[in-house]
Structure 1
Amino acid sequence: MSDPHPERHAPEKEDKRSFLQKLAEFIHRGPDSRDELIETLAEAEDNDVIGAESRVMLEGVIRMADMTAGDVMVAAPRMDLINIDSAYDDMLHLVIDTAHSRFPVYEGEKENIIGILLAKDLLKLQRAPELNIRALLRPAVFVPESKGLNDLLREFRGNRNHLAIVIDEFGRVAGLITIEDVLEQIVGEIEDEFDIAEDEGDIFGLADRTYRVSGDTPIERVNEAFGVKLASDPDDELEREFDTIGGLIAHEMGHVPKRGEFTTLQGLNFVVLHTRGGAVKWFKVSPASQDDATG
């Protein structure tokens, strides 16, 4: 007599774990699974489980785990500092020129950082010149180059500081890092209230006779505005290969420029102010000084 309930071979069980469960399991495995986790994120995007922006952010979080303050800091030679003994007009000039919101302040030698000055606090001096600028300084926070970005972000959020001075192994100032620098590793380039909208033009004159130039400004436009001849030879390979000033300067530097880097072409100093998506968004342009020309 046949068995009324014949044995059935159960089909292979479908993996019903959620994407977040798989993600958690990969994380718990440790750093050896990081590449596999990134591949899983790519698969999740392909399967419409997460969006492209979410994948980029998650990958940024994963990679940031191995990064330190020294990896993303603005190096000391590129730091914009305020001398405590400078005149008020000189300080205001620097604030307008650089468009930063916070500045390390030094006394005597540049290594001697005594505090942080917020640009908005300069308004208090304008209204009350009798104030001592030292009373406006915020305490400076110092971190080692080896400080992990995860830990640094946690500290930035906890103590409400947005800028830290980075110190090398010998106790000397190596650079500075802001909360913006850290967050940009996750979400990409962040613009602040000083940034100029893309539809407002490509070359802007500033009060100190320097200029802001959009990275996508045609080379021909730059030549016309500054009376120079960048890649102006029709037979020059650069003329055929590059249409914009950003592309030309990236070629001259030999890599994708980063904020604070600079180069000199045709007697003009090009300083990178902002980048986005692997390209320069804004340059600061000024006549090259003798120091720039020689070193």
Structure 2
Amino acid sequence: MSDPHPSRPSQDKQDKRTFLQKVAEFIHPGPDSTAELIETLADAEDNDIIGPESRVMLEGVIRMAGLTAGDVMVAAPRMDLVNIDAPYDEILNIVITTAHSRFPVYDGDRENIIGILMAKDLLKLQRSPDFHLRALLRPAVFVPESKGLNDLLREFRGNRNHLAIVIDEFGRVAGLITIEDVLEQIVGEIEDEFDIVEDEGDIFGLADRTYRVSGDTSIERVNEAFGVKLVPSEEERDFDTIGGLIAHEMGHVPKRGEEAALAGLKFVVLHTKGGAVRWFKVSPVEGAGGSA
């Protein structure tokens, strides 16, 4: 005689699996918040389920979901802009000095951004001096400060733009943001031509007998390397890095090309990023000596 309920065993088995899944979820509930999810990733790393680099990237993806363009943009005062009426030599000097690949271009007022100049397009001007700069400009993309980084990254990938001008709630230029700024929230800082591997050092001797010093270098290390005393010992605790000390002495965020003299040393800002000095060029001040 045939089984009157041929499908019951499979149904019972399916019901049993579902029940066990429910029990497992009751015992080990999923994370209820971003903080719990990040803790779960840390546990996964501790259990060798994922590696440390994977955990950092996954945490970056999770945190990025709560960030906006205004959170990571380069603020307007720190933007490197090109004047549409500037002579070719001046524009070329800006490109060489800043080492950027894209530049917002303004007409008259710095608020009046009319397009984006690709550094490589300047070669066309060099070949044809009569070619007007306006003909080389790419359209500028404008985004609000409230633009989510997830959406912005999707747009960067979709329209192949790598730079956007950030606008505040009143329609004014608040800053700019690049695809690199967004990706760094996931993978960490992306090295450029000025970056070095951390364990390779932070002070380099150059061919012209000057030195290249990272802005993150501790004041103590600078003092030891150059045999100086940059600040009195009781004040040293207020500044951890040479970049912080120079910014304090200048009274503002240092910009590329600015100089400061301390303890018989001249510090020239070589490269800045995100409002902080990445590299100084350091040389003795002629005829100077002693300590600050």
**TM-score with structure 2 setting the length:** 0.70
1:15/1:251 Cα in 2 relative to 1: closer, same or farther (>3 Å)? farther
How far, CA to CA, are the matches of 1:44 and 1:131 in structure 2?
58
1:251/1:36 Cα in 2 relative to 1: closer, same or farther (>3 Å)? farther
Deviation at 1:220, TM superposition (A): 3.9
1:212/1:164 Cα in 2 relative to 1: closer, same or farther (>3 Å)? farther
Percent same amino acid at aligned positions? 61
1:262/1:272 contact within 8 Å kept: no
Deviation at 1:230, TM superposition (A): 2.3
Unpaired runs of 5+ in structure 1?
1-11, 27-31, 255-259, 288-295
Counterpart residue number, 1:219: 222
Counterpart residue number, 1:78: 78
- Matching residue's letter, 1:219: V
How far, CA to CA, are the matches of 2:106 and 2:224 in structure 1?
40
How far, CA to CA, are the matches of 1:36 and 1:109 in structure 2?
48
- Matching residue's letter, 1:249: G
Counterpart residue number, 1:195: 194
Counterpart secondary structure, 1:111: strand
Matched, 1:129 2:125: no
1:155/1:42 Cα in 2 relative to 1: closer, same or farther (>3 Å)? same
How far, CA to CA, are the matches of 1:196 and 1:64 in structure 2?
24
The equivalences for 1:79-228 within 5 A come to 79-192=79-192, 194-195=193-194, 197=196, 202=204, 213-215=213-215, 216=217, 218-220=221-223
Counterpart secondary structure, 1:262: coil
Deviation at 1:247, TM superposition (A): 2.0
1:238/1:248 contact within 8 Å kept: no
Deviation at 1:15, TM superposition (A): 9.9
1:282/1:87 Cα in 2 relative to 1: closer, same or farther (>3 Å)? same
Unpaired runs of 5+ in structure 2?
1-18, 284-292
1:261/1:271 contact within 8 Å kept: no
Aligned residues, how many? 246
RMSD: 3.9
Deviation at 1:144, TM superposition (A): 0.1
Counterpart residue number, 1:262: 254
Matched, 1:59 2:59: yes
1:121/1:136 contact within 8 Å kept: yes
**TM-score with structure 1 setting the length:** 0.69
Counterpart secondary structure, 2:33: helix
2:254/2:277 contact within 8 Å kept: no
